[in-house]
Structure 1
Amino acid sequence: IFAYLHTLESLYDGFHLLDANRRFLIWNRGAESLLGHSTPEMLGRDWSCRLLGYRDLEGGEITDDDCPLQHAVDSGRTTMFQMEARRADGHSVRVELQAVPLFDESGTLQGVAEVYRDLARSGGKRPQEFRELKLAATRDALTNVANRGELETQLTAMVGEFARNPREPFSVIFADADHFKRVNDTYGHQVGDRVLIDLAKLFTRETYSGELVGRYGGEEFVILCPGTDLEQAVRRAERLRNTLSETKIGGIDRLKITSSFGVAQVEPGDSVESLLRRADKALYMAKENGRDRTCSLTNVDLLHEGRPKTASDEPTDPLLFTNSFSAVVASEMVVYKLGGFVSDHKAVLSEVTTERVIMRIGRSSWLPSFSWTPPPPPVEIELIMAGLSDSRAKSGSQRLRISTKVRPQGWVRDSRVFQHRAQQLVRELKQYFAAE
């Protein structure tokens, strides 16, 4: 905690620390100077927006239920706003405020830090040294690029700025190392870690100084590109992809690493979630179309998702089965329907988000995969769910479009047997959702 507080002292213009009951525990010298309240005056007092005079940049009052601190506590992650705070002398100061929830190892909230940057002092811009110090406190431990929390914090700020000034575009690039599991299985996790470190170094070296490279999770990286439209971002991703093909990665001569890229540009009405979802879908298009390529998506493209580009029931890859279907489902029933399928098939969930579910069905055995001998060999099923507008849906229900991908787990003797099993599983999944 003391190292963290030292970082805050050097990084921001002021900060204070609250306990779990929102009482002031620390009020540093920077906060004294910025807001005019002395430390003895603040320690032990109950925090409130009214006490600190929080208002939005248009002068509207910010309530305790709709403030950065409450958003941070509700979401469990850092929240950043640009706003006004009232000094002790009655004057207002424009600040960038970050609310950082502090949890213990059990996930219990122990307190919240609120940190300030004086927008007037920095001219509304982040100086380079501020950016470097800020990233130093939010690095991925393995690759030393930005971590997921920092990516989402910065992206939240960029989406907010675009909403205020839509003339300045930006784009998001997703990059995912191809066949990374095979690298780990063949060469071991030490080489796999070296691959991730080398990829992070390459992406950092090949991007511009204003761009932010981060590790989103696993072998997936995200690059935030300010002032960059979709066409420029696609060219940038292609440059990264081509550079990667000519670069030794992982420290092994015979190891060939490629990456797939998905690109999306912010559009009017976008949220952080919708922009990331579009870039992520573009990435999976690149994977689905052969890997080692770049794909991009716009909202216009998504409007035509229902028109299949190829027959999804007859995939060109014999070891990949893809299908999509629609269903009108009561919002609260989605979890129960999925839960029933998971329970009945004794599936193991490996990833669950609001948009994606990945599960494994079956267990490995010494028998060749997809033989007719029970129990059936394992497969991985990925579901990507997107809500669609539908006037036919009753109140409280939503129309979902569910895209499925089924892949075998292990050696496959007969791809036709795999395709038959995959079709059977997806057919059963449709029955759970009463698909159209």
Structure 2
Amino acid sequence: MSTSLSPNVNTLSYLNSHPMESSRLLNSLIEIVQTVENSPSGNPIDEIINIHILRRLLTAIHFRDIQTLKHSRRVGIISVGIGSRLGWEDSELRLIEIASLLHDVGKIGIPDHILHKPGRLSPDEAEYIASHHRVAIEILQATQASQELIQIVAQAHGVKVDTGDSNEKNSSLGARILAVADAFESLTSARSYRPAFDEKSALKILHEQSGKEFDRNIVAALERWLDSHESRGLHDDSAAESAVQANAPTTDSAKANAACFCQLFQYLHLMESLYDAFYLIDEKRRVVIWSMGAAKLFGFPAVDLIGQPWHRSVVTADGPKPDPVEIAFQSAKSNCHTLTLKDIDGNDQEFGVQTVPILDLNQRVVATAELICDGNESKKHRGQFRKLHMAATRDALTGVVNRGELDDKMIQVFNKWNAEPTIPFSIVFLDIDHFKEINDRLSHSVGDRVLIDVARLIQDELYSGEIVSRYGGEEFVILCPETPLETALERAERLRRAIMGTKIAEREDLRVTASFGVAQVEKNDDPESLMKAADKALYEAKNSGRNRTCHRKVSAVQNAPTAEQKKQSDWIHHAEITTCVASSMLHIKLKGYVLDNMAKILDVKEDSLLLQVGASGLLGGWGNKQDRQPVKVRVEIHELPNNEKVSGTRRILLKTITEPIGRPAKKETFHTRASIVVESLRSYLIAD
């Protein structure tokens, strides 16, 4: 999507205002809302988000960091490619493209030292970025963007948004597509601490995480799209440059708009940090912005209030009279009062409320904000408690979990395994080879840098719920919940190759390798015996030449299907069709089935055919009608043995393997749908 910015001359005056003046910043939000109201509709994009607001947001991203816009554009191309392979319609593809373009819009308020940090973020930095993503959602809500767009962008960053829909799923198909596209683009792009993965390696990583971090059907759709000629657009550098430059701020007005957006994000983040809740009411006495804190405190989602008339009863039944909001509108002065609410135990809880008038350039009140803060003094120390907790559980040098915290996590995972022993877990021991020589030859400061870089690399290479710990000296332990031995071995090998192939400590004269020992929990294990087993495997790796991975073999009982594997098999429907048809007619009959059932041919081989029957709705999921219950059907063609040819025909066995696209609410619903699809195919082939 290419958009350009329409200059807004009203923002030129912003250049002359103080960058952190509250009224100027919040007034810019009012102007955004007015832009939505005053813009003529008619563009299909307006159904998702006002096109003028979209242009301003993209220009702000370009102004803040052009690399973020380039990343978002590539994610958009990938998301649309995946959606096309899943049978999405034009309106759905437009939605996922816009969601991809805006999924990182919260970054426009983040300072450089965090945005461009050449390494893993600290917990506080990660929370800082997460809070900016929440601010982005609040701004999108204020622009009255579609709920579908807001949900996809929110879920992409784990932000929970109450839309008032009790039937809403935890994760929409659009958000799952965006998660895969975002991860693939990140993996295939170079970072300061690692080179880019090639597409094959990136796909392998995504497949390894399918079923936990990523939807396996979406990863498969991505792989199909990458194999098609349509994916060439991902590598068209000239088209990318043109699309990105179309959103460059080229005028003073455009730059002012962009700067205003950046500072607005920072200001709203400050409001999120300081206050339990805040909201903004325009001069027409309508709610313009309703923070997530307000939704939590008062129990009303933003979707129910934004654009609706304001009334004091929204926040309290016994508020002061006259309404402090009206006083601020009439007097153009701030006022303070106390708000009393009931906590979850039914006790009274007091909040301080400041009502602030928002003035335009002519000193006219155009809106009023209310800022609500809990007066409980103990909450002021939450940040100090978090820092103390981090200090007690993290290794001071590398920032990963320390040995004491690893012991606690191990017990938690072990207890979970004892409750569900069919779901295994594994641990990986890692030891940096010849580390003493590094310290002796290059100094202890270089050795420390090696430890930091290796820890960072390990964290970057792991994509699920693994826990990384510095066990002592140059040893690290990785705890891998719900991970069988085979998968843990693959991850250990990937880490080994990554360490061997990465420049560590920025030294050309240093080649770092590591040895690995892997063990999976077994029937008679306890935490100590499991650690010893992995340590013994590590010892074997070091004694047999280093820079290799060894493991403890799993007993035969552990080779039985895991609960996760059995769970997945419940969503596969197998059937056989025997037919007597001329070889030349088989593909004609199958083609007739495809045309009459509006199916899609996903893959064709000499002895098999892969079809999609049915299509997903706007945000995925299964509907009540069969054409909204999508399945993927693989038809394998087998000629029966001792098959005599009669009148040009032979008996042919067709094996069908049917899987749902998405996940219906009940297994029975899927198997009923699969049976109907197979019986329909059988009737086309006049089969036994």
TM-score when scaled to structure 1? Answer: 0.38
Query: Which fold has the larger relative contact order, with Cα–Cα distance below 8 Å and residues 6 or more apart in sequence?
Result: 2
- Higher normalized helix content (fraction of residues): 2
Q: TM-score, normalised by structure 2?
A: 0.24
